[in-house]
Amino acid sequence: MRAVPSEPGLTTVQHATLRWLRDRIATGAFESGMQLRQEVLAREFGVSVPPIREALQTLEAEGQVVYKPRRGYFVATLSADELVETYRIRDLLETEAITRAVPILGDDDLERMRTAIADMAAAHDREDLAALTEANRRFHFTVFDAATMPRMAQMIRVLWESTDRYRFVYFSSSRNRKRVDVEHKAIMDAVAAGRVDDAVRLHREHRDHALEAVCASIPTAEPRQKA
């Protein structure tokens, strides 16, 4: 079974700090526009300031936070326009990954996907959005990582990280969670049968449904934050 890569070159403390900040932003604990004071975050997470600063710089590169001179870091504001752009880029990269991966997926990969579907169902029953989101990521990246193109997989991963908040918005609806379960099972069937074109089409429909639902809940053209 393939190991799912984490951020390359990070120490355990750096990785844990980055993961903590990402989770806080993704779940809405740190709201859009909120100022992120490094000293406060360091005390809250129990680390020194440098890992916090490094994590914020990474999140800035991903578009999850913005830096304002003389003021510091702020959680980026949700924008439907930026989300649409990100999903268009994802479509290009993920289509290539799926096309390359489906013919070479092994039994371990397929079992990992089935386990992820089961884990999502269990998380849905107990309304655990964090666990559901993690299992959803595991389902999709089993395919993306199987393409054996690590640079492309990392690019997709960065795009996913930048839209975690939108994913939580989507999964907050029980109706959407049920829809995802149906769509994942259809994708699973296509992938297991080696039907590349169907797998690509079903993935695209899956993304489009999520994009449409989330865009309906946020501004269509929110002004970019000024420095």
pLDDT digit string, tens, across residues 103-126: 999 999 999 999 999 999 999 999
Between residues 60 and 224, which one has the greater pLDDT?
Answer: 60
User: Which CATH number is associated with domain 80-215?
Assistant: 1.20.120.530
pLDDT at residue 166 in the model: 84
Provide mean pLDDT across the span 145-152. Answer: 97
Average pLDDT, the chain: 89
Average of per-residue pLDDT across 88-94? 97
pLDDT at 11 over 80: no
| Region(s) of the chain under CATH 1.20.120.530 | 80-215
Q: Calculate mean pLDDT across residues 213-225.
A: 64
Segment 201-218 mean pLDDT: 92
The pLDDT assigned to 32 comes to 85
CATH of 12-75 among 1.10.10.10, 1.20.1250.20, 1.10.760.10, 1.20.20.10: 1.10.10.10
10: pLDDT confidence band, cut at 50, 70 and 90?
Answer: low
HEC secondary structure over the chain? CCCCCCCCCCCHHHHHHHHHHHHHHHCCCCCCCCEECHHHHHHHHCCCHHHHHHHHHHHHHHCCEEEECCCEEEECCCCHHHHHHHHHHHHHHHHHHHHHHHHHCCHHHHHHHHHHHHHHHHHHHCCCHHHHHHHHHHHHHHHHHHCCCHHHHHHHHHHHHHCHHHHHHHHCCHHHHHHHHHHHHHHHHHHHCCCHHHHHHHHHHHHHHHHHHHHCCCCCCCCCCCC
Residues of the chain with CATH 1.10.10.10: 12-75
Residue range 26-33: mean pLDDT, rounded? 86
Judged against a pLDDT cut of 70, whether residue 83 lies above it is answered with: yes
Q: Does residue 225 have a pLDDT over 80?
A: no
Q: How far out from the chain centre does Cα 142 lie? A: 14
Q: Taking 80 as the threshold, does the pLDDT of residue 2 lie above it?
A: no
